[in-house]
């Protein structure tokens, strides 16, 4: 039997011993994580702490060393603060992030909201490619031309999409940002740059206009909005209120658009093209090496979030050459990780693990590998390595056939492999298919031959956490329904953009995008946990079910401002009672996601936990989870 994990003092002391008391700058906690800011992270701290009974995993994110413990994090924190000399002004928002961390965070914030739009457009381009092959005369029809226009529209006007998301991230006026970026994709500017490209001299303020075009561009609009955010604040502080609304956008437009056309655009385009040319040079000189790097290490890039940074390079390739090999190798890496998850499904004995892995395989077919990585392969470690090895081998094999994508894929996957079809380069698609086949067979075979560890240490720790937890045995609970505690749109837990929740580390459940400002009691029970930041609440039902309701993502940084508890820890409540109120508008205004995970934290005590209503609007009196 695993070591008892309710000795919170011992767990806190062990964490301090591993990290070093003098190494801790500040500490805090949210509903599930002990959040530390360290002077430096000891080389083996993450592995040692992850292996401790009572710790689910360790996440390093945004300059924080986050120890995921679950709903008992408050107990651990209370013991922790007695062991470390922490100032009263510990502010985890004040930590300084590295330049690389900020760049990655920016890329993620900018591209994540519309990546599925680009993915849908990429799939449509793939369908059109297949249609042309099946019906050669279809390309000459008006129907084809209209749908071709639809598939290219998100890429043509990509700067406008970037203006919307980047303005929210940099806290600039969205409409001014759109106006500036719309000028970059204006047909008039396209005509002028074509004239410059043909040799005609056109000047702006006496300076020559560059032939740089901005449709499908990434860095120019991104940098424009970033600088715009400073210009806008500078101007607004100095204009009188009576003319501010009119002259702020006027000054921003006449400053930022010319600045981008003369300096920012050409310079950033040169940077993106230079990086793309460097990668393409490696592909030309040593194709297997380039393929091995992308095929073998791409999913590692995904884990650390740096995958967003490659988008400008890929877009530069399509802009300069009309094709890109990076996404071809990327597709093999993605498919290999999905195949490794399929291997776990085929090898596993646990029904629950089979369900989780099969679900991750299905989402992986669409290029969404986070559920596969965090829920299956990285959880067992060996399958993740199998996927990386298989991806590297498959990509190297494919590299001998020079595979390319001829249409951008927002989420490269086995379904977008048709984007590698081009009659002028028939071996491109053939090579990609061969590489995919090698990667799939290798990943599955490695799992079946060497295994992945049916009962990993992490599973044992999760079981240990619920062994002494209150709850009715699984044999007694049959078909128990939990009502929704919020009103809003239900979404699968796997789609929550936080791996600790989406992977199922905290337990099974669902998430809700709320449309109301109240959290209601979904059953009769008592309050098991509240937090100082008031953004989450832990409940224990009379039948033993433990539920965590976590309002928003990263809302701990709001320090409780938009939240108001209506109950206290230890209070009893009846189904339908208001437990928590929050200001939904304030959460959105702070640029934070209001997505609310609803987790059964003692999931291991039950045979099956299934959503009742997925991807639909739900009211608080409707069932959302079924416990068996």
Supply the residues annotated as catalytic.
Answer: 30, 550
CB atoms within 10 A of CB 387: 33
Helix (H) / strand (E) containing 153:
helix 142-156
How many residues does the structure list for the chain? 628
Task: Give the CA dihedral 18, 22, 26, 28, nearest 10 degrees.
Answer: 40
DSSP 507-570: -EEEEEEESSSEEE-SSSEEEEEE-TT-SEEEEEETTS-EEEEE-SSSGGGGTTTTEEESS-TT
Q: Give me 374's structure tokens.
A: 């965090």
C-alpha–C-alpha distance, residues 162 and 238, integer Å? 28
C-alpha–C-alpha distance, residues 174 and 179, integer Å? 9
C-alpha–C-alpha distance, residues 452 and 435, integer Å? 24
Helix pair angle (426-450, 382-399), 10° resolution: 150
Task: Give the CA dihedral 516, 521, 523, 525, nearest 10 degrees.
Answer: 170
- The Cβ-side half-sphere exposure at 294, using a 13 Å CA radius, reads 30
CB atoms within 10 A of CB 235: 17
Task: Give the CA dihedral 78, 79, 80, 81, nearest 10 degrees.
Answer: 60
* Burial status of residue 349 (CB atoms within 10 A of its CB: 0-12, 13-18, 19 or more): exposed
Angle CA 403–268–164, to nearest 5: 90
Cα–Cα distances (Å) from 483 to 177, 207, 294, 372, in that order, read: 42, 65, 45, 28
């Amino acid at each position: 039997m695993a070591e008892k994990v309710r000795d919170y003092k011992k767990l806190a002391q062990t964490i301090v011993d591993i990290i070093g008391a003098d190494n801790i700058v500040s500490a805090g906690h949210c509903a599930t994580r002990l959040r530390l800011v360290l002077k430096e992270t000891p080389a083996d701290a993450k592995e040692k702490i992850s292996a401790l009974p009572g710790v689910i995993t360790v996440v390093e994110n945004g300059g924080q060393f986050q120890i995921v413990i679950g709903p008992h994090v408050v107990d651990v924190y209370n013991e922790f603060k007695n062991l470390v000399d922490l100032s009263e002004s510990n502010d985890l928002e004040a930590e300084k992030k590295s330049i690389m961390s900020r760049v990655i965070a920016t890329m993620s914030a900018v591209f994540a909201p519309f990546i599925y739009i680009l993915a849908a457009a990429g799939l449509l381009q793939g369908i059109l490619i297949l249609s042309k092959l099946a019906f050669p005369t279809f390309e000459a029809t008006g129907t084809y031309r209209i749908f071709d226009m639809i598939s290219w529209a998100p890429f043509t006007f990509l700067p406008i999409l970037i203006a919307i998301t980047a303005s929210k991230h940099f806290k600039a006026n969205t409409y001014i940002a759109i106006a500036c970026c719309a000028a970059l994709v204006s047909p008039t500017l396209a005509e002028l740059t074509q004239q410059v490209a043909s040799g005609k001299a056109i000047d702006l303020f006496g300076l020559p206009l560059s032939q740089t075009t901005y449709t499908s561009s990434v860095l120019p609009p991104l940098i424009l909005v970033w600088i715009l955010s400073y210009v806008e604040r500078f101007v607004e502080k100095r204009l009188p209120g009576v003319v501010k609304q009119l002259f702020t956008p006027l000054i921003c437009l006449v400053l930022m658009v010319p600045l981008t056309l003369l300096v920012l655009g050409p310079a950033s385009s040169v940077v993106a093209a230079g990086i793309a040319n460097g990668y393409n040079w490696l592909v030309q000189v040593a194709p297997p090496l380039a393929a091995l790097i992308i095929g073998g290490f791409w999913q590692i890039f995904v884990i650390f979030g740096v995958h967003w940074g490659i988008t400008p390079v890929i877009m530069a390739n399509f802009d300069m050459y009309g094709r890109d090999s990076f996404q071809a190798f990327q597709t093999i890496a993605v498919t290999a990780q999905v195949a490794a998850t399929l291997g776990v499904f085929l090898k596993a004995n646990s029904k629950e693990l089979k369900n989780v892995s099969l679900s991750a395989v299905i989402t992986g077919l669409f290029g969404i590998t986070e559920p596969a990585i965090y829920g299956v392969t990285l959880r067992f470690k060996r399958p993740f390595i199998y996927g990386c090895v298989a991806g590297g081998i498959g990509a190297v094999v494919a590299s001998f056939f020079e595979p390319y994508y001829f249409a951008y894929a927002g989420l490269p996957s086995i379904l977008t492999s048709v984007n590698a079809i081009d009659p002028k380069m028939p071996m491109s698609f053939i090579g990609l298919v061969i590489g995919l086949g090698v990667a799939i067979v290798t990943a599955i075979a490695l799992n079946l031959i060497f295994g992945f560890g049916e009962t990993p240490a992490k599973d044992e720790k999760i079981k240990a956490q619920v062994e002494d937890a209150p709850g009715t045995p699984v044999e007694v609970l049959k078909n128990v329904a939990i009502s929704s505690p919020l009103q809003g749109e239900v979404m699968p837990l796997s789609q929550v953009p936080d791996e600790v929740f989406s992977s199922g580390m905290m337990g099974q459940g669902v998430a809700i995008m709320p449309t109301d400002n109240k959290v209601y009691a979904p059953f009769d029970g008592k309050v098991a946990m509240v937090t100082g930041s008031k953004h989450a609440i832990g409940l224990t039902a009379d039948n033993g079910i433990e539920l965590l309701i976590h309002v928003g993502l990263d809302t701990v940084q709001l320090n409780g401002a938009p939240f108001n508890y209506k109950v206290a820890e230890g209070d009893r409540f009846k189904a339908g009672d208001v437990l928590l109120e929050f200001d939904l508008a304030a959460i959105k205004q702070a640029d934070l996601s209001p997505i609310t995970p609803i987790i059964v934290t003692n999931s291991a005590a039950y045979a099956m936990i299934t959503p009742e209503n997925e991807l639909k609007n739900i009211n608080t009196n409707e069932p959302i989870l079924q416990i068996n």
